[in-house]
Structures are given as structure tokens and as C-alpha cells.
A and B are shown apart, each in its own frame.
Chain A
Amino acid sequence: MTRPACSMLWVALLPLVGLIVTARPAEAIPAFAQQTGQPCVSCHIGGYGPQLTPIGRAFKIGGYTQGGGEGLAASIPLSLMATTSFTNTASAVPADQIAQHYGANNNFSLDQVSGFIGGGIGQHSGGLMQFTWSDVANTSHVDNVDLRPYTTVFDVGGKELRIGTTLNNTPTVQDPYNTTFAWGFPYVLSALAPAPAANVMLAAGLGQSAIGYTLYAWYDNKFYLEGGAYSTLSPWTLTRMGNGFGIGSTTSPAPYLRAAYEWQWGNSAAHVGAMYMHADVNPATGPYATTDLAGADHYTDYAVDGSYQFLGDGTHIATVQAIYVHENQNLRATSSGSGFAAKYNLDQFRANVSYWYQNTYGVTLGWQKTWGPANPLLYAPGELTGSNNSKPNSNAFIIEADWVPFGKDTSLWAPYMNLKLGVQYTAYTQFNGGSDNYDGSGRNASDNNTLLVFAWMIF
């Protein structure tokens, strides 16, 4: 097998990897509540992470350094999280695609158990590190990492200017807005249900396989500007961290830019923003291998996003979030010797609206649409996870109902524990390029409609 053909096979297999690593809740840790003396509802919509309120954004941009809690618990930066769920898909997955130790459908699973180290060290440094074990994949890995080596505040013209640095392992994991991908809706995903194959680089291309180093500025609590780059880690390091390459290994630092402007008035907040990222990568030929024999592939993402939050007095809360990404792909290396064209594009739109009553009862409606031209390099036919017409198109509607009985300042055992119980239903009208027989093996998009019932606990 030639190296480019090998890399095409690996790309075709990526959705299989995605099947076992897509459950990704985090960043609502009681260690932060203990450190700050604030209940979960101060920083999180619905009293449970990861969707941030203005205070939550300020805490994150502030480098997780804010204190205020007292006693021994305030200085213990450790938390533990577990997510367990029941997954039903409209049609069972084919027999040869069943996850080990699970059935073809109607599975109960222990999706993940995570340990966290999170908090501030003095007034200038802080961070969050998550380590996760999944019973579905029966693997453990270094999950989300967002470190803030140094941040400080200046007075500029009577306004506050915060400058900070980050070291992180996933593009957007450090972003303060939940329109972006690392902490975007849906905040819980089934670890067993099929997921669409196509995703933009910002969402999945370099996640947990790179180190990001960025510098940011936040002026007058309004204007946020961040710039930096990402470089993939070595196979040796990735092996030990339990993470594999996504789209490949970077041949040079991949630039990352983010700008946003936020308004806060009355009991409301809103923002508009934009992002840019470009990466030159040697395509992946396996979890820990890439090839440079045919040069590099090139990905460029442009994104615009916006959100609105009505916080009221905490009785009625409503949010709207949206992001659109356009990606240009020049797959020169992957296309080499294949006879296929090298240049493609991919578009993705994600939006959701949520309503919460007393930060306890919530409902969220989401819409995710991905589209682009046929791309036989990345999307080949294949049972369940492939695309018969090689198109990336998917269209999903998501509805989720949640109950968060804790997380308030008067809650039982506050702030030492929290719990979210939820029911989520995802309906696909398109999946991997089609509605009917999308994979060339007779499966329809609606066969992947997923019911997820979950319990998400954190201590």
C-alpha cells in the first residue's frame, strides 16, 4: 500500500475512532466552587458546566486564579467526575461494528470517569487538567488541558487590561465562549452512537494531539483578543498521553487567532466574534504515525460566532449561541497518486437555544449542519461510518431536557458535589452525505437517530 493510500485509509477509519472518544463533558468542577466561595450557578448556566456566565468567563480569562473560598477545601484543587448513560439508536449498529463488550443497541455504559486538577496558584497562574478513563474504549488518556502560566492586570486609561498566556492541548479549549467547539453544545454525547464523519479542523483536527501556546488580552471586560499557534506532539508523547493524531502532524506552528467583543447590560450579555486557524500537516497514517512522502495537506478555517444570554434574577434564564465555519482544504499530500483533486471546502453551522428555570430545569434545542462538495479523499463508502457519495453533508436536530437539583448556594453538600440528569434526542435528516442508504450498505440517516439518557456527577 502506498503511503498516500495508507493515509486515506486512516482518514476513512477516523470516524471509528470518533465513535469511542466523543463523550466529552467537563469543566464544571467543585474545586473551582470551593476555591472561589461561589456556587456553581455563579459561573455556569443551569448551575452545571460547561456553559459559562459572565462571571465564569471572567474567572476563566482571569486564569482560574480568583479566590474567596475559605477553609481546607478551598485549597484542594482536585475533583472527580463520572458520566453514565443509556444509548438507543433507531436501528442497531451492524454486527461487525459493535463496540467490544456492548450489544448492537440499547446499551448502558460507564462513558467516562475523569480526575481533575484545577485552580489558581497565587494571583497570576492557574489552570485545569483533566484525565479520563472510558469504559467504552477501555482506555485512559490526558483529556482537556488549559494552563495559564501567567496573567496580570494593567490600568490603561482608567480601564482594566488583562494580559495572559495559555498552554493548552486543543484549539478552543481555552476560549471563554461556548459557541466554540471544545466546550460547545451538546455538552454530553453518547460514546456508543455513530457520529458524522466530517468535522472542521477547529472542532476536531488537532484536538488533544497538539500543544497550543497563545497570548491574550482582555480590555475593559469587553474586547478579547488572542493569538498563538499549535504544534502537534511527537508520537512518543502521544502514546504516553493516550491520544492519537487527528488530521496529521504539523510541519510548522499552526497560527490561531481569536477576537471577540462582549456587551453586558442590565441582566443580559451578548458577544460577536471571529476566529482563524491554518495548519500544514503531514497526513496521519495511523494513531501515532504520519507521512511526509507526498508533502503536506493544508487546512484553513474562518469562523464567526455570536451569543446572547438573558440571566434575569436567576428565575428565568435564556441563551442563544451560534457559530459558522468555512474551511478550505488543499489535500495535496493525501491526493498524491490518487487521481482525485486536491482542493475542497467544508462548511459547518451550529446553533442552539436554551431556557432554564431557576437554574434547575432546562431545555435546549440545537441544530448542526455540515456541508461541502464530494470529497473522495476523506469520505469513502463504508458500512455505518462511510459515505456512499463521498459528501460530508450531515444535518442534525438535537433536543435535550435537563434536571440539575444541586449547584446552588443552598444545595445539599454545596459546593462539594453536583449532578445533572438529562434526556437527549438527536434526529438526523442527513448523515455522511445522504438521507437514504448514505453508507452504501443500506443504512439511512434516520437509523442513527439517538436517544441518550445520562447521569453526570461531579465531586
Chain B
Amino acid sequence: MPGFLLRAAFTVTLLTAGSGTAFAAGDPAAGKSVFQSTCSICHSVQPGQNKIGPTLSGVVGRKTGSVAGYTYSPQNQAANLTWDAATLDKYLEAPRAMIPGTKMTYGGLKDAQKRADLIAYLATLK
């Protein structure tokens, strides 16, 4: 198996371990493309670089509303969630349904495979 597929499989395994929820297997390479076409207008993947939205570097595993130097909505700060595969999947599908009042005005990524790919890519951002 090529190296990148091994890494992808590993990433998906990590993301879904312990969640108790079945997710489609994500491809980080495809997820990077989704990020560039859908998210990059507002988000950077560089550590410490906030744009219109907070940096997504290290987003998997961190608490909601926790990026230094970014002004979150009160609802996002009060959400008290940890971004993992399950919470990201739910959020990316319909951000304002999960956290009403979030500053993220994007309507949501409805395609489950694209969400899985995107989450797999986000998991590589350390």
C-alpha cells in the first residue's frame, strides 16, 4: 500500500477511534482540495495566523473558542466542545444548526465524503 494511503487510513482510524460513530473513510489529499476551494477564503492552516476565521492549524483535538488572538462569538466560546471527528462532522454539515450564533456563516458541507476528506486533512495540520 502506498505511503499516503497508509497515512490516510491511519488518520481515519485515529479520528474515529472511540467515537462510536461510523464515518466514511477520509482522504487527506482530497480534503486539502476541499479546504482550498471551500475554506481558505476565511481560514489559514499556518499556526497563529488568523484570517476572517481562526487558524485551523491543530484544530483537531482543541477546544472550541480557544485560539489566541481570535474574537469568537459568545455562543462559540460557550460551546465547550472538543473538535474531533464527530463534532467536526456535525459542525461542518450545518455550522449554525450545531452552534447557533457562530460567526461562521457558511451554509454547510452536505456531502459526507467531502466532510470526511476535509476532516482527514484537518487532522494532518499539527
A101 at the interface (CB under 8 A from B): no
**Known pairs A123-B37, A313-B73; A39 contacts B42 (CB<8 A):** no
Q: What's the tally of chain B residues with a CB closer than 8 Å to chain A?
A: 25
B19 at the interface (CB under 8 A from A): no
- Identity of the chain B residue whose Cβ is nearest the Cβ of A265 in the assembled complex: B71
Chain A residues near B52 (CB-CB < 8 A): 54-55, 58, 221, 264
A143 to B109, CA, bound (A): 34
A168 at the interface (CB under 8 A from B): no
B58 at the interface (CB under 8 A from A): no
A37 to B104, CA, bound (A): 12
Is A41 a contact partner of B38 (Cβ separation < 8 A)?
Answer: no
B90 at the interface (CB under 8 A from A): no
Nearest CB of A to B109, in Å = 7
B46 at the interface (CB under 8 A from A): yes
**Known pairs A54-B52, A313-B73, A409-B96; A70 contacts B105 (CB<8 A):** no
Is A66 a contact partner of B37 (Cβ separation < 8 A)?
Answer: yes
Q: List CB contacts (< 8 Å) of B9-40 with chain A.
A: 36-40
- Identity of the chain B residue whose Cβ is nearest the Cβ of A53 in the assembled complex: B52
- Identity of the chain A residue whose Cβ is nearest the Cβ of B101 in the assembled complex: A313
Contact with A along B100-115 (1 / 0, CB 8 A): 0101011111110000
Chain B residues near A123 (CB-CB < 8 A): 36-37
Chain B residues near A54 (CB-CB < 8 A): 52
Is B110 a contact partner of A70 (Cβ separation < 8 A)?
Answer: yes
Chain B residues near A159 (CB-CB < 8 A): 46, 49
Is B71 a contact partner of A267 (Cβ separation < 8 A)?
Answer: yes
Nearest CB of B to A64, in Å = 11
Contact with B along A125-156 (1 / 0, CB 8 A): 00000000000000000000000000001010
- Identity of the chain A residue whose Cβ is nearest the Cβ of B42 in the assembled complex: A55
A221 to B109, CA, bound (A): 25
**Known pairs A58-B52, A313-B73; A66 contacts B107 (CB<8 A):** no
B38 partner, pick from A68, A221, A265, A266, beta carbons under 8 A: A68
**Known pairs A158-B49, A159-B49, A266-B71; A37 contacts B41 (CB<8 A):** no
B51 at the interface (CB under 8 A from A): yes
Chain A residues near B107 (CB-CB < 8 A): 37-39, 68-69, 409, 415
A415 to B51, CA, bound (A): 25
Nearest CB of B to A73, in Å = 12
- Identity of the chain A residue whose Cβ is nearest the Cβ of B71 in the assembled complex: A266
Chain B residues near A155 (CB-CB < 8 A): 46
Is A58 a contact partner of B42 (Cβ separation < 8 A)?
Answer: yes
Q: List CB contacts (< 8 Å) of A90-130 with chain B.
A: 123
Contact with A along B74-105 (1 / 0, CB 8 A): 10000000000000000000001000010101
Given contacts A58-B42, A267-B71, 20 further A-B contacts (CB under 8 A): A37-B108, A38-B105, A54-B52, A58-B41, A59-B41, A67-B37, A68-B37, A68-B109, A70-B109, A70-B111, A158-B49, A159-B46, A160-B44, A160-B46, A221-B51, A221-B52, A265-B71, A266-B71, A313-B74, A313-B103
B binding-site residues for A, Cβ under 8 Å: 36-42, 44, 46, 49, 51-52, 71, 73-74, 96, 101, 103, 105-111
A selection of 9 A-B contacts at a CB cut-off of 8 Å is A38-B106, A41-B105, A58-B42, A68-B38, A68-B109, A70-B111, A160-B51, A265-B71, A415-B107
